[in-house]
Structure 1
Amino acid sequence: MNIAQINVVASLSTGRIATTLSRMIIDGGHRAVFCYSREKAPSDIPSIYIGNSFDTFTHALLTRLTDRAGFYSKRATKKLVKQLMAFKPDIIHLHNIHGYYLHLPTLFEYITQADIPVVWTLHDCWAYTGHCAYYTMAVGAPPVDGTKRRSKEHVGCDRWLGGCGNCVLKRSYPSSLFVDQSAKNWNDKRRLFTKVPHMVLTTPSEWLRSEVKRSYLAKYPVYALPNGIDLDVFKPCNDETFMEQVARRYEIDKIGDRHLVISVAAVWDERKGLDDLIDLAEMLGDEYCVMAIGLDESQIQSLPKRTVLGSRRTGNVNDLCALYTAAEVYVSLSREETMGMTLVEALACGTQVLCYDATAMPEIVTKKVGEVVEVGDIEAAANRVREMCDNPRDAADCRERSQAYENGKRFDAYMQLYEKMYRSSPQFQKELERAKYVK
């Protein structure tokens, strides 16, 4: 089979998922090409770079003025289509097709007319809304009481069920400064996406699957296939010398005998709960050191230095595993996740976890490996962290829980899906008839 994957980034979370899958496709004896728009693709994977930085900038700028993300970059998408036609994909696997790099009508016209089977992994909610990628909390809502802190109340927006319009999250990603085109976007996306003749959808959690089944994409089969993790990479770090080096590099060698609690995000936007993490650190007190990894420089400078230790992205998975291993508790106070991959990474490194009872995260955390607390209940979170430090879960149990998300299992599931889609495709049926005729 020839399998083409399309994703906005080549690394970070969704990029790492897509490139790992491409590598496994090739190792399985098939042809793969990975199409992307940002960062650098691994050199061992055949890849197609979509557009350029100027095109992305222009698309993003026009989106801010018109609220029409996904309806620019026509020239770049036409070039991509020509390259895909040369590759002759049997399956196209879509990941995040938002991010200011694709012209949706051009891409979906090609897919529909060529009748190519599609597997679409939804990593967020953007595919079935008129604007936003997430809608269960008030990201971008006006500050509360004149402070810089944002409202923690959930929007509870369900306008995507019937057409969007009057968007309360207009300024959230993909941000629009003036215009609200959410109703038009919703109708155009529904028209384009639901024309695809042969498509199955996958989600990384049962929570997101249940949301998709309420949307205009419900006509297609939807499977919950959690993202995979490389357990040969994410594992407890037992190299004491390296652990000491990492401790010095990230200044955790200075915390003394305080309990280390960490939280990781690729981008610390409002969904990820940095404000709540700061509140947790203040409530835990001086016996604990709370560390936030993945911050930008301005966020690091704004931290209360006495209670929270901030770090930029590690950029090195070995360092990250060492930090997971060093922590007594990993916490995720995110209010909206379609899976919660950092929870799995921490568990793979033998570290117990705590998360909010929000969206998909509770699907990962069992009582044997961690705790789940009500959203926004910082006092409960602090109490659970103290209890977990006093009576830690068994590291072996944490590692065992992560094995449910092992890469090989996820790859096998996708290969079965590819095979099923390919064998039911018109192209395969034509080849089958041709083979019978030759015989």
Structure 2
Amino acid sequence: MAMPFIAHVNTTVYTGGAARTVALLADVLNRSHRAKCDVIIGRGRSDELRSVQSLDPGRIATILNVFAFRLLGSEAPLSRSRWELYLPELQKYDLIHLHNAHGYYLPMGALERILERPCVWTLHDYWLGTGRECYPPRSSTSKASWVSRMAPFYGRGYPVEFVDRSAWRGARLRALVGRHRPALIVPTADMLRRLGELGLEGLDVTVIPHGIFPDSQPEPAWDRDAARHALGIPADDFMVLFAAAQVDHPIKGFRCLAEAIRPIRENSFSLHVAGGRDQASRRLVGNGVTFHGQTDAGRMEMLMAACDLYVSPSYDETFGLTVVEALGQGARVLCSDLPVLREVSQGAASYFPVGDSRALAVLLQESIAEGCEQPSTRLQRARMIRRYYRFGSWASAHLHLYHRVICRGEV
């Protein structure tokens, strides 16, 4: 078959794990010369990625779209005309690969038109099951805490939506998927199981773990000492790292970490925090914490290579990208005892009960007392994780699925 021409569609080009995955996948496929990929985004600009088409209606319109979605339950009212104009352009692609396709930037009518084409849809969250871009409750008793954790204004107690049309959106989305039968991708077996619990059974779903590390790099580019020298971090510090695209996001659990470090002697370790939207988190900890702010991929790689311990106290995840990245740099990892994090870490992390700051404090104190690991231990851990999350196998799995869907559409 000729090299397929693929359009990757996502909300944004930079923010969050889905955006990073889209950028990586498109770049890997383009560089392999096994597929030609364009990236179509709802907002933002990119000077780094090739072939990016932005349908950004502008900052003010984007904010109004989000508020219309949250407060009125409306579907991207200010994006409709842009999508209507752009939809004919999609005819030139052999296949459309949807990623995040939330209603505040991609109108439902445009989504239905896209699904009429050969289509693959990677589910980076549970929007298809819940009708809102967040996590479903893990039990019937956890709904209240789930809603409060997912409040869009970060802990101020507002509901997820003032006009809650999530049930309507979820039902319409599931009807669209049932009618058009796109090939769905999920990154973990845990996500596949949870989608089944939401009633999404009998669909064409493939589990493809994210590719994170180049095949040409079976070992980290940085060792601990070299990364610390480049970053100006003292070699004898026991360095603990926390990272998230939005540090203040309640689901990432920084408050749990802040509570866990309070009883620990300050001069026994140094805490580093990487990520944007960290104003509320800065108020939770003392002046001895280093906040790096929004961090590019290269610097994040150095921070993970430099740290002695990476901590992920998330309340929920669909994949846990930073956990895998930290392990791939050789770092020791403490993370919430979620099935998805046990799955992606391949058993190479240590786990504590979700939200239990006391249990986390005990593990932190034990890790600090043990001190820095031997370089050989870190290298063995990094090699193991990198073998499993290689670009090559990730790209090949996608290409196999693309060809199957394209051939099915030609019958």
- TM-score bracket for the superposition, by shorter chain length: 0.7 to 0.9
List per-residue Cα deviations over 1:18-43 (Å, max 9, x = no partner): 12222233333433221112232355
In structure 2, the partner of 1:424 is 408
CA distance in 1, matches of 2:269, 2:54: 45
CA distance in 2, matches of 1:208, 1:293: 26
In structure 2, the partner of 1:57 is 63
CA distance in 2, matches of 1:187, 1:384: 43
1:178 maps to a residue whose letter is F
Deviation at 1:68, TM superposition (A): 3.1
Deviation at 1:265, TM superposition (A): 0.3
Contact 2:134 2:150 survives alignment (8 Å): no
In structure 2, relative to structure 1, the CA distance for the partners of 1:416 and 1:133 (3 Å cut) is: same
Percentage of pairs with the same residue: 23
CA distance in 2, matches of 1:38, 1:73: 10
List per-residue Cα deviations over 1:79-137 (Å, max 9, x = no partner): 2212212x2x221111001162111222313432xxx2211110111122133411337
In structure 2, the partner of 1:4 is 7
1:244 maps to a residue whose letter is H
- Within a 5 Å distance, the mapping from 1:33-432 to structure 2 comes to 33-43=38-48, 45-53=50-58, 54-69=60-75, 73-85=79-91, 87=92, 89-98=93-102, 100-112=104-116, 116-136=117-137, 154-155=142-143, 171-172=151-152, 178-197=162-181, 199-231=182-214, 235-238=220-223, 243-247=228-232, 252-253=233-234, 257-268=236-247, 269-286=249-266, 287-296=268-277, 298-299=279-280, 301-306=282-287, 308-315=289-296, 317-367=297-347, 369-389=348-368, 390=370, 392=373, 394-403=377-386, 404-425=388-409, 427=410, 429=411
In structure 2, the partner of 1:147 is none
SS in 2 for 1:5: strand
CA distance in 1, matches of 2:188, 2:63: 32
Contact 1:68 1:185 survives alignment (8 Å): no
Aligned length, in residue pairs: 391
Across the aligned residues of Structure 1 and Structure 2, the Cα RMSD in angstroms comes to 3.0
In structure 2, relative to structure 1, the CA distance for the partners of 1:289 and 1:32 (3 Å cut) is: same
In structure 2, relative to structure 1, the CA distance for the partners of 1:321 and 1:298 (3 Å cut) is: same
SS in 1 for 2:40: strand
List per-residue Cα deviations over 1:286-314 (Å, max 9, x = no partner): 21222221143523541422564333122
Deviation at 1:383, TM superposition (A): 2.6
In structure 2, relative to structure 1, the CA distance for the partners of 1:295 and 1:59 (3 Å cut) is: closer
In structure 2, relative to structure 1, the CA distance for the partners of 1:352 and 1:383 (3 Å cut) is: same
In structure 2, the partner of 1:149 is none
SS in 2 for 1:379: helix
CA distance in 2, matches of 1:242, 1:325: 6
Q: Which runs of 5+ in 1 are unaligned?
A: 139-152, 159-166, 430-439
Contact 1:132 1:172 survives alignment (8 Å): no
Higher RCO (CA 8 Å, separation ≥ 6 residues)? 2
CA distance in 2, matches of 1:343, 1:381: 16
CA distance in 1, matches of 2:107, 2:362: 49
Contact 2:337 2:354 survives alignment (8 Å): yes
Contact 1:72 1:102 survives alignment (8 Å): no
In structure 2, relative to structure 1, the CA distance for the partners of 1:177 and 1:417 (3 Å cut) is: closer
CA distance in 2, matches of 1:214, 1:70: 29
In structure 2, the partner of 1:432 is none
CA distance in 2, matches of 1:137, 1:363: 17
In structure 2, the partner of 1:148 is none
Contact 2:39 2:51 survives alignment (8 Å): yes
List per-residue Cα deviations over 1:230-268 (Å, max 9, x = no partner): 346792524966633413xxxx44xx8442111110112
2:43 maps to a residue whose letter is R
SS in 2 for 1:353: strand
CA distance in 2, matches of 1:156, 1:41: 38
2:96 maps to a residue whose letter is I
Q: Which runs of 5+ in 2 are unaligned?
A: none
1:77 maps to a residue whose letter is W
1:109 maps to a residue whose letter is R
Using the size of structure 1 for normalisation, the TM-score is 0.80
Contact 2:273 2:290 survives alignment (8 Å): yes
SS in 2 for 1:195: helix
Deviation at 1:71, TM superposition (A): 6.5
In structure 2, relative to structure 1, the CA distance for the partners of 1:357 and 1:193 (3 Å cut) is: same
Contact 2:223 2:306 survives alignment (8 Å): no
Using the size of structure 2 for normalisation, the TM-score is 0.85
In structure 2, relative to structure 1, the CA distance for the partners of 1:341 and 1:177 (3 Å cut) is: closer
List per-residue Cα deviations over 1:148-199 (Å, max 9, x = no partner): xxxxx943899xxxxxxxx8889548975532222322222223332214x2
In structure 2, relative to structure 1, the CA distance for the partners of 1:168 and 1:16 (3 Å cut) is: closer
Deviation at 1:69, TM superposition (A): 4.3
CA distance in 2, matches of 1:131, 1:30: 32
